[in-house]
Amino acid sequence: MVLGDKGLVCIDEMDKMNNDDRVAIHEALEQGTVSIAKAGHKTTLNARCAVLCAANPAFGRWDSSGKTITENLGKFPITLLSRMDLIFILRDIPSVEEDERMAEHILSLRKNVSHNNDIIPVPLLQKYIGYAKRVTPIIGDGAIKTLKDFYVELRRTQDPHHPIAITPRQLESLARIAEARARIRLSDVITVEDALAATKITERSCKDVSIPVKEGERESSDLIDRRLALEFLRTNLEKYSVGPSMDQWIQGLGRNRITRKRAKKTIKILIDDGEVIEWGANEYRIR
């Protein structure tokens, strides 16, 4: 991270990092420095960089049946998660169209043919980013009010039992995102539009980790239906060693006052998302 000062550092397999390295990253993310003590000498080095991290679920596949982000990531420290500006869940959902495109791209690389399909030439993009870094935009009054209102609402509606607490760190994150958008526009002022874009992407991140952003979003009806559907399927498999049929599944959800139409919609979403597969003739199981 010291070598990446004023640049971008990418960390893969962060869930497998040892605890000593994780402790060192805390300081770098919070203060932008790394302290080193060797042979009685202590030195503080700059590590002012953006950090892009990737981690895998504890059991290889993301479980959205009611588990929190910390339960899915296993021993990943929550103190490290809370220092991230944005958190997104990237799920590998089967799709014929996307799978074909991916397969064609991977296999075409073995033909040793040079690919030049860049929308923006890499050298031009590098120069643009380098120039944009020199811009130091000032936040406007409208942007201040927009970010403040969003942060206050986020704090007001937060779940006190959620593992990721909403703190002033999130407000600083909002300001950094809005500033980044103004820089990419080469603007000297952070406008209301920049602030709204920051709140929108932060709202998406909060929804990915199940943090309510509005009153009444403790858990949406769609999430409740999804959780109940997976719980019924799991219980049925544990009790009878076979998955339920479509009618049995719908009837089971009906006992939780879920209408037949809502039950069918929920089951279709679970199948489309790849969480549930049809096993044999009219039998369903968790993937």
204 and 226: one domain?
no
Q: Tens of pLDDT along 176-221?
A: 999 999 999 999 999 999 999 999 999 888 887 766 565 444 444 5
| CB neighbourhood size of 46 (10 A) | 14
Residue 193 lies in a domain: yes
Residue where a domain stops, chosen among 208, 238, 257:
208
CATH number at residue 268: 1.10.10.10
Coil, helix or strand for 95?
Answer: coil
Q: Are residues 225 and 203 in the same domain?
A: no
Check whether residue 202 and residue 225 sit in a common domain. no
Q: Is 107 a member of any domain?
A: no
CATH number, residue 169:
1.10.8
The verdict on residue 113 lying in a domain is no
What is the total count of domains within the chain? 3
Q: What is the pLDDT of residues 75-121, one digit of tens each?
A: 777 778 888 899 988 888 888 888 998 998 888 888 876 666 668 88
Is 145 in the same domain as 172? yes
Percent of the chain beyond pLDDT 70?
Answer: 88
Last residue of a domain, one of 208, 235, 266: 208
Range of the domain at 196: 122-208
Last residue of a domain, one of 157, 185, 208: 208
**Calpha distance 143→189 (Å, rounded):** 9
Residues 48-71: pLDDT tens digits?
Answer: 889 999 988 887 777 766 667 777
Number of neighbours of residue 252 by Cβ within 10 angstroms: 19
Measured CA to CA, the distance from residue 265 to residue 261 in angstroms comes to 6
Same domain, 199 and 226: no
Is residue 216 included in any domain, yes or no? no
